[in-house]
Amino acid sequence: MKSRKLGNQGLAVSGLGLGCMGLSFGYGQATDKREAVKLIRKAYELGITFFDTAEIYGPFLNEEVVGEAIAPFRSEVVVATKFGFNYVDEKPAGLNSKPEYIRRRVEGSLKRLKVEAIDLLYQHRVDPQVPIEDVAGTVKELIQEGKVNYFGLSEASANTIRKAHAIQPVSAVQSEYSLWWREPETKIFPTLAELGIGFVPFSPLGKGFLTGKIDENTRFKPTDFRSTVPRLSPENIHANLIFVDFLKRIAERKNATPAQIALAWLNAQKPWIVPIPGTTKMNRLEENVGSTRIEFTKEELQEIETEASNIIAQGDRYSEGSAKMIDR
C-alpha cells in the first residue's frame, strides 16, 4: 500500500488506516479480545500501518487491545490515541484538557499501549475551559520529553487549529468526512492546506450507511450509538438511501463495492487525506483495503461531484448532546 504524509513534520502512514474504536466501544458488545487482536494483525499484513484508538473507547479497553496487537511490529506502525475527557470512577464525565490532567492521561495511555512514545496524540474534543495555547504547550513539552511524537486535533475549528499550530505544529486534524458529510471542505480544508496539516476522516463510510448494508428496516440496539444519530433514524434512512443507490451505480461500473467507491473518493480529494474506516469483520477489512487500488478519471470524479451535490442528506450527524462538544 502506498504511504501518505500527514502534515509537514514528516509523519508518514499507509494510505488507509484502521479505526479501532468499534472493536471495543460504540456498537454494542465488545469484540472478543483474541479476535480483535487477530483483526488488527491482519490489517498490518494487508499493508495498514496506521491505527487509531482513544482512552475513552471502552473506556481504556481499546488501547489495551491495540497495544497487544501491535507489539510484534511496533516499530513499523503509527499509533494515534486521544485525551480530553474527564473521568469520575473510571467513567467519562465531561471534558478536561487541563495541562496536569493531560499529563496523567498520557501516562495511562503509554502503559496500556505498551509503548515508549505515542506517535500521534490528539486532543479528542476542544475544551472551552482551557486555552488551546495551554493544551498545545503541554503537548509540546511531552514531545520534547520524548513521550509523544506528533500533535493532532479532533473536531476543531479553523480558529482553534491556527492558535494551536502557532504554539506546536499540528500534524493532523481528525473530523467526520464522507460523501454525505462534507462540511470540512469549506470550514477547515483551506486552513489545513495553508498550514501544511494532514486530514484524517473518521466515519468515512457514514457509520456503515454508505456500505449499502443498512436500509429502512434496520433497527439499531440501544447499546449501538447509531441509535442516537438523527441521520440514521428509520425515516431519514429511507430518504438517504438515494446516496447508496448512486454509489451502487458507480461501483457496478468500476467492478467495486459502494464502500470501496466511498473510500477511494475520499483519497482522491487531497494527497494529504488518510481515512480510518473501522470494522470488526475480516472480509470488510479486506474490502476496505481493496479501495486503495481504485482510481478515478477526472470525468468520473466530476460525475460523482455533480450527482452528490444534487442530494441533500436528511438529519443531523450527531445527537444534540454530542453536537455540543463540536468546536465551531
pLDDT in tens, 41-70: 999 999 999 999 999 999 999 999 999 999
Q: Any long-range contacts for 217-226 (C-beta under 8 Å, 24+ apart)?
A: 221/28, 223/27, 223/28, 223/29, 224/26, 224/27, 224/28, 225/26, 225/27, 226/27
Q: Which fold would CATH assign to domain 3-323?
A: TIM Barrel (3.20.20)
Instruction: State the pairing for strand pair 85-88/91-95.
Output: antiparallel
C-alpha cell at 87: 473521568
Residue 194, Cα to own-chain centre: how many angstroms? Answer: 22
Q: State residue 156's pLDDT score.
A: 98
- Cis peptide leading into residue 59 (ω within 30°): yes
186-235 confidence digits (pLDDT tens): 999 999 999 999 999 999 999 999 999 999 899 999 999 999 999 999 99
Say if residue 45 is exposed, middle or buried (CB neighbours under 10 Å; 0-12, 13-18, 19+): exposed
**Catalytic residue selected from 57, 87, 122, 150:** 57
The H-assigned helical ranges of the chain are 33-45, 61-70, 99-113, 132-144, 158-167, 183-187, 189-195, 234-254, 258-269, 282-290, 298-309, 320-323
Mean pLDDT of 237-255: 96
pLDDT averaged over every residue in the chain: 96
152 touches 171 (CB < 8 A): yes
Is residue 318 annotated as a catalytic residue, yes or no?
Answer: no
